[in-house]
A and B are shown apart, each in its own frame.
Chain A
Amino acid sequence: GAVVSQHPSRVICKSGTSVKIECRSLDFQATTMFWYRQFPKQSLMLMATSNEGSKATYEQGVEKDKFLINHASLTLSTLTVTSAHPEDSSFYICSAGTEDYGYTFGSGTRLTVV
């Protein structure tokens, strides 16, 4: 149980464009999903908590207008990196789960902004 699917796995975009990343819970309903960012050789940094049907909760220092999160259904959360710049290049990972199954991660999205 608790399978999380993330798409795309890799994306290259031009500076100034926007990129949308999808996170789906395949076999359970997730009222809450989490978006992380990971820099090379560093641990996961929580960016925001995505809440179904309401606004996301952003961690300190994360720009909510730059990293738009939409959690319109119990199985889908999206993260849109708006007006991406090279410094936004990173590995983005979503997570969801339950107390019973533990918390599982999507496969991650490697974003490269050129």
Chain B
Amino acid sequence: EDKVVQSPLSLVVHEGDTVTLNCSYEVTNFRSLLWYKQEKKAPTFLFMLTSSGIEKKSGRLSSILDKKELSSILNITATQTGDSAIYLCAVRPNFGNEKLTFGTGTRLTIIP
């Protein structure tokens, strides 16, 4: 059974700090790893990672995949209160079915 573990479960930091969120996975025949941000409603897509070692960046957010370590990190620099959310990591296996397996998420709280 595919498994995704995120850490920490929750994190509270001050505005301006940099945070690193972790995601490790066990999946049969890995295809891609995805990061989502969930605020009050449904998750919004952040990154999709398929290749190891290639950083994806969007503004203050960046993410990288390490297939050897079966893990990924999501970095947020110069955090703002609007970054407060649950960050979800999901993996997709490579056998035709697009089913995603989600981690439990990291609840990030940014204190002004």
Contact = CB atoms under 8 A, between A and B. Distances in A.
A46 B97 CA distance: 13
A99 interface: yes
Interface residues of A, number: 20
B102 A44 contact: yes
B45 to A, nearest CB: 5
Given A32-B98, A102-B34, A44 B45 contact: no
Contact of A103 (B41, B97, B100, B104): B100
Given A99-B32, A102-B34, A103-B34, A46 B44 contact: no
B100 A42 contact: no
Q: Is the interface of A mostly helix, strand, loop or mixed?
A: strand
Interface string A64-90: 000000000000000000000000000
Given A93-B42, A103-B34, A34 B102 contact: no
Nearest to B46: A102
Given A42-B104, A44-B88, A99-B32, A105 B99 contact: no
Interface string A40-57: 001110100100000000
Contacts of B43: 44, 93, 105
A14 B28 CA distance: 43
Nearest to A106: B42
A105 B102 contact: no
Contacts of A29: none
A103 B99 contact: no
Nearest to A44: B102
Contacts of A44: 43, 88, 102
A34 B100 contact: yes
Contacts of B93: none
Contacts of A43: 88, 102-105
Contacts of A9: 41
Given A9-B41, A103-B48, 7 more contacts: A34-B99, A34-B100, A49-B98, A95-B100, A102-B48, A105-B36, A107-B42
Interface of B: 32, 34, 36, 41-45, 47-48, 88, 90, 92, 97-105
